[in-house]
Amino acid sequence: MSGYAKDFAAFANNSGGYIVFGIQSSPHIPIGLQNNHFETTDEAKIAEYVNGYFSPAIEWTKSIHVWNKKNFGIIHVTELHGKPIIATKNGQEIKEGEIYYRYTARTEKIHYAELKQIIDVKIKTERDSWHRLFERIAKIGPENAAILDTLAGKIESGNRTILIGDELIPKLKFIREGQFDEKKGAITLRLIGDVSPVDVVGTRAKVVHDDPYIYRAKHVADLVAEAIGKTFRVNPEHVRCWKFYKIREVADEGEVICDPDYCEFKEAFSNFGYTQEWVDFLIRELSDPKRYREVISTKT
């Protein structure tokens, strides 16, 4: 399995790819699956094993393809837009700290040229993200900007600090007040909840936030699982959902395309962010047992 884990990481560090089961090793003849091991293997166990050796998490799907009356197992590994994926510990064929890359028909430790390209893209992405952030601050003026720190539970603006109670932090909700894309204007959101300023006297606290994509995939999975009372993990359930409802895709030129109502690729964090609307939508859809079975059992 460690060899396949390396392949998962290698494909994700390149442009994604497919691993096909049912091909004879030598010579390469399509013979089909000889047993049901591929179908019965628990995807959660595979994901736990693979992501136990690599970080960030690798996204992939498993399916069966029928050709010439033979069954073939297909694993599709998605390109990670926050690459590189790095080995976090030693395994049988895995070395901690190494980065694997898929070259023509082989998995190897990444070469200088490919690693430099990944780093250059990462630097440019982060630089562009900071540039857009500074442009927004410049438009509204630094005196009107504030930092919402959900880890420390405070909002800082100039020399003022608004503390948020521990019991309120998990309950913070963002509601959309305007539906605009970046070309037409900034998304406007209003923070709702009982926010009490501790060092601002005679002033009503008002917080404006322009980013509705507040959830990572793990947060979405936890919230949906709790709400519907059924198994719902990042992989495979959440992956199958965003593919089934087509809220994410990668264009031919490598551009990440998201449904702005539900998700956005967070360049600064090299990860996807999801909205409250996406969480609510999944809960509504998957609360119906028939719909849950339809979506989760769909091989995409």
Identify which has the larger pLDDT, 22 or 183.
22
Confidence of residue 111 (pLDDT cuts 50, 70, 90): very high
Higher-confidence position of 156 and 41: 41
The pLDDT of residue 117 is 93
Contacts with 26 (C-beta within 8 Å, 6 or more apart), sequence order:
none
Res 206: pLDDT:
38
| Rounded CA separation 109/200 (Å) | 56
**Does the pLDDT value for residue 205 go beyond 60?**
no
Measuring CA to CA, which residue among 1, 90, 76 is closest to residue 37? 1
What mean pLDDT comes out for the span 176-199?
43
CA separation for the pair 177, 257 (Å, rounded): 23
Q: Which residues pair with 109 in a beta bridge?
A: 100
279 and 220 Cβ atoms separated by less than 8 Å: yes
Residue 207 has pLDDT above 70, yes or no: no
- Calculate mean pLDDT across residues 158-179: 54
The 3-class secondary structure across the chain, one letter per residue, is: CHHHHHHHHHHHHCCCEEEEECECCCCCCECCCCCCHHHHCCHHHHHHHHHHHEECCCCEEEEEEEECCEEEEEEEECCCCCCCCEECCCCCCCCCCCCEEEECCEEEECCHHHHHHHHHHHHHHHHHHHHHHHHHHHHHCHHHCCEEECCCCEEEECCEEEECCCCCHHHCEEEECCCCCCCCCCCCEEEECCCCCCCCCCCCCCCEECCCCCECHHHHHHHHHHHHCCCCCHHHHHHHHHHHCCCEEECCCCCEEECCCCEEEECCCCEEEECHHHHHHHHHHHCCHHHHHHHHCCCC
Domains, in order of start, for the chain: 2-110 (3.30.950.30), 141-209 (no CATH), 217-296 (no CATH)
User: What is the pLDDT, as a whole number, of residue 254?
Assistant: 66
pLDDT value at residue 203: 35
> Taking the CA of residue 185 as centre, how many other CA atoms within 13 Å lie in the half-sphere pointing to its CB?
6
Higher pLDDT, 91 or 183: 91
Considering 55-64, 111-120, 243-252, the range whose residues carry the highest mean pLDDT is 111-120
pTM of the predicted model, to two decimals? 0.55
Per-residue pLDDT reduced to its tens digit, 249-259: 876 666 778 99
C-alpha 114/C-alpha 100 separation (Å) is: 10
What average pLDDT does the segment 103-109 reach? 92
Q: Work out the mean pLDDT of the chain and round it to a whole number.
A: 80
Residues in Cβ contact with 196 at an 8 Å cutoff, skipping those fewer than 6 apart: 162, 163, 165, 205
Give the range among 16-25, 110-119, 161-170 with minimum mean pLDDT. Answer: 161-170
Is residue 276 scored above 70 in pLDDT? yes
Residue 192: is its pLDDT beyond 70? Answer: no
Residue 284 in contact with residue 227, Cβ under 8 Å? no
Model confidence pLDDT, tens digit, residues 35-67: 988 888 888 888 888 988 999 889 888 889 999
